[in-house]
Chains A and B, each alone.
Chain A
């Protein structure tokens, strides 16, 4: 989850907007983990996540002058909006969901946390696969809510939908996750 030191982040964004490259590097260092993790779980594979993260931050650099904290903008919401839009465009452009699922599955087997403890079901790979099978907007809403602990309002801003739509997306994501993971456990056994 992104640190919630909103004022420091806003100051950092202002400095980036003024062209301070050192501040930009600090901003990237601060958000790189959450952004890459979000993109990995959203887009399905690590290489794409890293490319998209790089593009996200370069877009932040290019557009930082337009960031308007006085208008209520939060750096984290702003950065995740850019990341989400880039990732969405990428998935849309490629139209390769079959390949995405295959790659997601392959990537999940290279578990960054290392091997799962015996008997721990469902494991990282299974959850990653089930997430990959969720509709994209449900997946994004769920990741932003649970892993980034964003409010419905911030998620609505990132996804460009209404607050009630966010509530509905998250509800459907949770319901489907539980159902599919229960099916997975049934198939694979304890």
Chain B
């Protein structure tokens, strides 16, 4: 074999190196290795590249990072009006999903609280985009539409409306709850 002729096992070397090979192939490869200098060289090269990347210094974590992120999260939760958790609890779609609203209540709830209906519409819309951005029906990556495509323009208005609904939602929901 010349240096240009990869041996039959060359395709298995990455998985072998990363301990991802099935036991049977691993055994066969280990019997092959002592007699194949090319495979041994390739494996040594993998180990060399890994050692360089593994040896990179960790980036320093800013002092108080965890506490400051937690404080932001708390403030965000408070601004939405729900102690301790995110806006999703306030969203009607979540309330549907969590069983907070029973199926039969949807129509009445949305009629009495139009903001909630609009909020649910926006959430379904955004969720649909996210779902379509990750996969199409055949399971392949879908490249035709992505949330990024909305990065700059119309969503400013759309997002503004959505956030306004989110921010006014909890108060309205609370009022609805106390009246019922």
A interface residues with partner B (beta carbon < 8 Å)? 18-22, 24-26, 28-29, 32-33, 36-37, 39-41, 46, 49-50, 53-54, 57-58, 61-66, 89, 92-93, 111-113, 122, 124, 127-128, 131, 142-143, 145-147, 151-152, 160-161, 167, 170-171, 173-175, 177-178, 181
Judge if B23 is at the interface, Cβ distance under 8 Å.
Answer: no
* Residues of B contacting A: mostly: helix
Do the beta carbons of A146 and B84 come within 8 Å of each other? no
CB distance from B74 to the nearest CB of A (A): 5
Question: How long is the Cα–Cα vector from A124 to B68 in the complex, in angstroms?
Answer: 29
Contacts of B177 in A (CB 8 A): none
B46 within 8 A of A: yes
A145 and B26 alpha carbons, distance in the complex (Å): 19
Contact B151 A93 (CB under 8 A): yes
Instruction: State the CA gap A167–B46 with chains docked (Å).
Output: 13
User: Which residue of B is nearest A39, CB measured?
Assistant: B59
Complex: how many Å from CA A9 to CA B67? 18
The docked-state distance in angstroms from the alpha carbon of A63 to that of B151 is 20
Distance, CA A93 to CA B147, complexed state (A): 12
Name which residue of chain B comes closest to A152, CB basis.
B20
CA distance A88 to B84 in the complex (A): 30
Check A65 against B56 for contact (C-beta < 8 Å): no
Which chain A residues lie closer than 8 Å to B62 at the CB level? Answer: 50
Q: Is the CB of A146 within 8 A of B53?
A: yes
Known contacts being A21-B84, A171-B14, is A28 close to B49, with CB within 8 Å? no
> What is the minimal beta-carbon distance from A96 to any residue of chain B, in angstroms?
15
B50, A19: Cβ atoms under 8 Å?
Answer: no
Is B45 positioned at the interface, with any CB of A under 8 Å from its CB? Answer: yes
Which of B85-93, B110-118, B156-164 lies at the binding interface? B85-93
B22 at the interface (CB under 8 A from A): no
